[in-house]
């Protein structure tokens, strides 16, 4: 995956997995143009399919689906360390490790979200060097897989985005790390 593909793919995924407010909707035509430039047909088609599916929802219905899926779903939230640690103290250590990784790569994330928020991690993957992005996702690959599986079981339109992410991570060479935690049910 070349640098431009990586940047477009991860930036698009970050945007598309964000809260679908009016600004989000207004940006979709620009994202569609960029998505069409992605060389991986599989990733490109999954992202375009999501855009088509999202267009089939009224703004209010899409927001409702998003909130129901990610904000109220303990098993489908986008805080990837939550799958390993829940609200336990160990999660704080993982969050600190992620924050330090971001700082070492000179990535200055917003303070509005925790460092394990998937759209934020995707912003990092778009901005950081390939190896830094790979190392972050290697630790949480099983968590991303689990989230994709749970979204698919719920027939969520967001499942395709997670499958696009998994395809991108595979192309990037992300493999499960030895220290990766076990996802809890």
pLDDT for 52: 97
Contacts of 20 (CB under 8 A, 6+ apart): 54, 59, 62, 63, 66
Is there a domain that residue 108 lies in?
yes
Distances (CA, A) of 88 to 81, 83, 93, 136, 184: 10, 11, 10, 20, 13
d(CA 175, CA 185): 22
Q: Per residue in 131-158, pLDDT tens?
A: 999 999 999 999 999 999 999 999 999 9
Is there a domain that residue 179 lies in?
no
- What mean pLDDT comes out for the span 27-38? 97
**For the whole model, what pTM was predicted?**
0.91
State yes or no: pLDDT of 59 exceeds 70: yes
Q: How many domains, in total, are found in the chain?
A: 1
Is there a domain that residue 183 lies in?
no
d(CA 115, CA 118): 8
pLDDT for 86: 57
d(CA 40, CA 82): 30
Running DSSP on this structure, what letter comes out for residue 182?
P
Domain holding 35: CATH number?
Answer: 1.10.3480
pLDDT for 87: 63
Is there a domain that residue 148 lies in?
yes
| Parent domain of 29 | 3-172
pLDDT for 75: 87
Question: Can you say whether the dihedral through the CA atoms of 150, 155, 157, 162 is positive or negative?
Answer: positive
């Amino acid at each position: 995956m070349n640098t431009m593909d990586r940047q477009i793919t991860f930036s698009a995924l970050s945007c598309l997995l964000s809260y679908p407010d009016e600004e989000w909707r207004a940006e979709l035509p620009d994202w569609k143009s960029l998505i069409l430039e992605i060389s991986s047909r599989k990733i490109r088609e999954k992202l375009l399919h999501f855009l088509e599916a999202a267009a089939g929802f009224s703004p209010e219905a899409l927001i409702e689906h998003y909130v129901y899926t990610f904000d109220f779903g303990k098993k489908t939230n986008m805080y990837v360390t939550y799958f390993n640690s829940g609200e336990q103290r160990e999660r704080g250590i993982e969050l600190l490790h992620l924050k330090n990784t971001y700082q070492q790569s000179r990535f200055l994330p917003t303070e509005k979200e925790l460092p394990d928020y998937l759209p934020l991690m995707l912003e990092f993957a778009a901005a950081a060097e390939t190896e830094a992005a790979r190392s972050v996702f290697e630790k949480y690959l099983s968590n991303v897989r689990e989230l994709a599986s749970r979204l698919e079981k719920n027939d969520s339109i967001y499942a395709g985005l997670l499958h696009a992410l998994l395809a991108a991570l595979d192309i990037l060479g992300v493999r499960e790390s030895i220290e990766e935690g076990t996802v809890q049910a």
